[in-house]
Amino acid sequence: MRYLTAGESHGPQLTTIIEGLPSLLPITAEKINKDLKRRQGGHGRGRRMQIETDTVEILAGIRHGKTLGSPVALVVTNDDWKHWTKIMGAEELPEDVDPNDIKRQISRPRPGHADLVGGMKYGHRDLRNVLERSSARETTVRVAAGSVAKALLEELDVEVVAYVTEIAGIKADTTKIAGKSIAEIRAIVEEDPCYSVDSEASAKMVEAIDAAKKAGDSIGGVVEVMVAGLPAGIGSYVHYDRKLDGKLAQAMLSINAFKGVEFGIGFEAARLPGSQVHDEIIWDEEKGYTRKTNNLGGLEGGMTTGMPIVVRGVMKPIPTLYKPLNSVDIETKEVFKASVERSDSCAVPAASVVAEHVIAWEVANAVMEQFHSDQLPQLKAQLDEMRRYTKEF
């Protein structure tokens, strides 16, 4: 499978075209919209989320609620476009209009953003041409594409959930969800203002977010994604670019402001002897091969082990600050305070939703690469056979 996205933050719409889905997969706008709404939520979101009400329009590839096997086109309209039509319009400017007179031009790059380097790369003197696309607004349709991938995984009895494990050094106690199903974890997360699994830690996170907002500052954190229900052997050890953990790491780091990724116990493995890191193999007639522990996060040699995948991503504080850092005007070379666009004091909860969906996409894509994928019933049958085979191996 693959998808492309198009659209700018203040353009008319955001678009994605998805190719490679099997036919006969049930897809509804209602389910996608639920995921889009969650992306707009979470404590710490800014004013833009009050302006936009993200809903998807399905324009191709689905008939009467099921995929056709042809490309699927999804569109999310930007409600704020009506205020930006002259600033962001696609038409050529009239001859009597000086491009320098266009409002909201930006010549002062913001530290931590793509503004300056993007302007250098593509030759833009108005840095709005960079920030409109590099904005995290683009993740709206990545969530829409991931929602479709989750629908596919659900049909294959594979579940995905994400939650916040840390904000500004405040850590959630994830042992509170030990032994719980994905559905039970999701129920906890969706009722929490920070999308966390620990209500006590979440209350402290809310206080930290509010304090950062009051100070005109921003804070980051850590999100965790769990995938359950995959059989062993998805991915490959044969080629570097087919290792599933490599693909999942790339997906996580492709999210705006994400700067680190780890699986299972992650970097803690560097501090422990091998006897305390590697997961002992066990077998029984009911479950087949499993592990006593899941320190490696459900992946060995670039392949799934049959244990839940556990992957975490680190999000830096959002670089747009209401007490902006110093920058340099690219036209005058004078020092200025960096320009301020609407921003969040903390987007970690919302980013956990994005993480859930980009990981879901990569997992679904790995399944589709490994099995016949023209029709959903055939795909389900082959995955069920893989589960039977690996259990009895």
Eight-state DSSP code of residue 300: E
pLDDT at residue 142, rounded to an integer: 98
Query: What's the predicted TM-score (pTM) here?
Result: 0.94
**In whole angstroms, what is the distance from residue 125 CA to residue 330 CA?**
8
The DSSP code sequence of 174-224 is GGGGTT--HHHHHHHHHTSTTSBS-HHHHHHHHHHHHHHHHTT----EEEE
Q: Which of 346, 326, 111, 109 is nearest to 217 (CA)?
A: 346
pLDDT at residue 194, rounded to an integer: 97
Q: Is residue 92 part of a domain?
A: no
Q: Is residue 362 part of a domain?
A: yes
307: containing domain: 2-86+98-392
Q: Is residue 93 part of a domain?
A: no
Q: Is residue 91 part of a domain?
A: no
Q: Which two tokens stand for residue 113?
A: 């953003």
Q: Is residue 152 part of a domain?
A: yes
The DSSP code sequence of 107-154 is -SPPTTSSHHHHHHHHT-SSTHHHHHHHSGGGHHHHHHHHHHHHHHHH
Q: Which two tokens stand for residue 240?
A: 């570097």
Q: Is residue 277 part of a domain?
A: yes
Q: Is residue 61 part of a domain?
A: yes
Nearest-10 Cα torsion for 278, 279, 280, 284: -170
pLDDT at residue 319, rounded to an integer: 79
CATH code at position 351: 3.60.150.10
Counted domains in the chain: 1
pLDDT at residue 25, rounded to an integer: 98
Helix and strand counts by DSSP (H, E) for the chain: 11, 17
Instruction: Identify the three-state secondary structure at position 268.
Output: helix
pLDDT at residue 345, rounded to an integer: 87
pLDDT at residue 188, rounded to an integer: 97
> At which residue do the structure tokens 């999942």 appear?
248
Q: Is residue 123 part of a domain?
A: yes
**In whole angstroms, what is the distance from residue 360 CA to residue 150 CA?**
6
pLDDT at residue 343, rounded to an integer: 67
Instruction: For the chain, 393 residues long, give each residue's pLDDT as a single digit of tens.
Output: 999 999 999 999 999 999 999 999 999 999 999 999 999 999 976 665 566 789 999 999 999 999 999 999 999 999 999 999 989 999 988 877 777 778 888 898 989 899 999 999 999 999 999 999 999 999 999 999 999 999 999 999 999 999 999 999 999 999 999 999 999 999 999 999 999 999 999 999 999 999 998 888 899 999 999 999 999 999 999 999 999 999 999 999 999 999 999 999 999 999 999 999 999 999 999 999 999 999 999 999 999 999 999 999 999 998 776 677 888 999 999 998 765 655 688 999 999 999 999 999 999 999 999 998 899 999 999 999 999 999 999
pLDDT at residue 339, rounded to an integer: 59
